[in-house]
Structure 1
Amino acid sequence: MVEKFALEEFLDSARVHDGVFALRPDYRALLVAVDGLEPGPGDDASEALLQQAEAIARQALRERPVDQLPHIAAWREAYRAFGAKPQRTRNSVEALTRRVEGGLPRVNRITDLYNAVSVMHQLPVGGEDLSRYCGAPQLIRATGEESFDTTADGVTVTEHPDVGEVVWCDDTGVTCRRWNWRQARRTQLSEETTSALFIMDALDPLTDDQLCAAAEDLTSHLRRLGPDVHTAQRLLQNHPETKSGD
């Protein structure tokens, strides 16, 4: 088990590089590190949460198209700013919201939980196996030389991000391309995951209060996934940051 101080030490080394803030000064990343999780298949609680998220999203989509939902529209603008085409590579919350009509994916109770929180609060949330990290998470503008392990036609391949692309990475390579578009295989959650890192991405018009509310919602649901669950979190932004844990 990872001790609470170790979670905090891991988060202390996380960074958002200046080039990203230059692109979007309003960007904030709320990182939530968790240990003591007991993985397993979806259960009644995760199913109820997914159904609640689907109902909330369906109501929002009655009022306007998905690409005009305020936070999704902001992310589409951010993608264009570094050269990505949002109609081809959709931010994670847009991709999930577009699946609501046919039903959100059911994967496992950890993944289902954070996907539901993402859709309910309308912000991108990534979940990764913390034990598979090599060094701390860094959000950078890519040089194009970084490695990204993924699959193509069922075969494992190594790709490289575009020059200037916004990517999350650690000391080994890219962990998520195009800010919050596609995660690497190396750090993806598995049926054996007991410690995880969740990255919650925010742009205006999402407020700090709304971001913190989403994080509290996420951690409250994570705490039910084992008697020894403990968390730490860190807010990365352009001005003084906040740290907390339990």
Structure 2
Amino acid sequence: MLDFPVIDKEIAGIAPDFRAISILVDANGAKKGMIDPHILQRACDYVSSGGPEWGDAHLASWGEAYSRFGAKPNRTPSSAQALKKRVEKDGRLPSINPLVDLYNAVSLRFAVPVGGENFDAYVGKPRLSIADGTEAFDTVMNGEAIVENPAKGEVIWRDDIGVTCRRWNWRQGTRTRLETVRGRMWFILESLATMPEEALEEAGDMLVSGLRELAPGCDVYRQKIVVG
């Protein structure tokens, strides 16, 4: 059994219906594989054709959750909403690498925020908590590495030394960014009640299947997370 991530009790006051799937992948010793090179474009096409029937309601629920902790979802949308907007504008997303393409495809197909992290860069356990405003967030601005602080009261993912993702799932930090299939990788699929529970499980299945194709022989540990 995994004993992470940690969800602070204050999160229940913002999203009492929050639930997620946590997936830890150990690719040490795994072979090098590949996935369908068209997986991302097919997900984009699915969004362009309308996406899941509950998708808009689920993304709207994330906007409401953002508003409860003071974020402005139209300016800083959830990661899933941001991906959808890009597809609606351009009809596609540029390929980054097979790993990122995989979890972006899952996010688009299921209208669900999906985060991918380099777990070997973590210090302590991932924690979903409320910022006090002093935490360090490593990011890049105008091509330069900088350190920001979240707003007080902002929902953040963090570890023992700083923020790993701001505004719940809006922007990842650079310190734990996942760029290649190697070592230990951690993924989190985050949902609210407007996403059917079986759809969340299907999203997790799609991600795990793709990860096993990318890293044959990897070890996968999956855990269901609920708030409270």
Give TM-score scaled by structure 2 length.
0.91
2:108 matched residue in structure 1:
119
Post-superposition offset of 1:118: 0.5
Residue matched to 2:78: 91
Indicate whether 1:213 and 2:202 are aligned: yes
C-alpha distance in 2 between matches for 1:193 and 1:153: 28
| Structure 1 counterpart of 2:21, one-letter code | L
> In 2, Cα distance between the equivalents of 1:141 and 1:48?
38
Q: 2:160 aligns with which of 171, 179, 182?
A: 171
Structure 2 residue 118 is the aligned partner of structure 1 residue 129 = yes
Runs of 4 or more above 6 Å deviation: none
What is the distance in 2 between the residues matched to 1:29 and 1:22? Answer: 17
Please point out which of 154, 159, 182 is paired with 2:143. 154
| Alignment RMSD (CA, Å) | 2.0
Q: Deviations over 1:211-230 (max 9, x none)?
A: 11110111011101122211
Residue 110 of structure 1 deviates from its aligned partner by 0.6
Alignment of 1:1-246 (within 5 A): 8=1, 11-36=2-27, 45-60=35-50, 69-101=56-88, 102=90, 103-191=92-180, 193-238=182-227
1:243 counterpart residue number? none
Amino acid in structure 2 at the alignment position of 1:178: R
What's the CA shift for 1:192?
A: 6.2
Deviations 1:149-189 (CA, angstroms, capped at 9, x unpaired): 00111111111111110000001100000000000100001
- Is the contact between residue 7 and residue 227 of structure 2 (CA under 8 Å) also seen in structure 1? no
Please list every run of 5 or more consecutive structure 1 residues that lacks an aligned counterpart in the other structure. 1-7, 240-246
Q: Decide whether the 8 Å contact of 2:21 with 2:222 is kept in 1.
A: yes
Instruction: Give the letter for the 2:111 counterpart.
Output: Q
Higher relative contact order (CA 8 A, sep 6+): 2
1:81 aligned partner, one-letter code: R
CA distance in 1, matches of 2:179, 2:38: 22
- Which AA in structure 2 matches 1:125? V
Separation of aligned partners in 1, 2:124 and 2:49: 41
Measured after TM superposition, the shift of residue 39 of structure 1 is: 7.0
Q: Is the 8 A contact 1:138 1:168 kept in 2?
A: yes
Any idea what SS the aligned residue of 2:86 has?
coil
The TM-score normalised by the length of structure 1 is 0.85
CA distance in 2, matches of 1:73, 1:111: 24
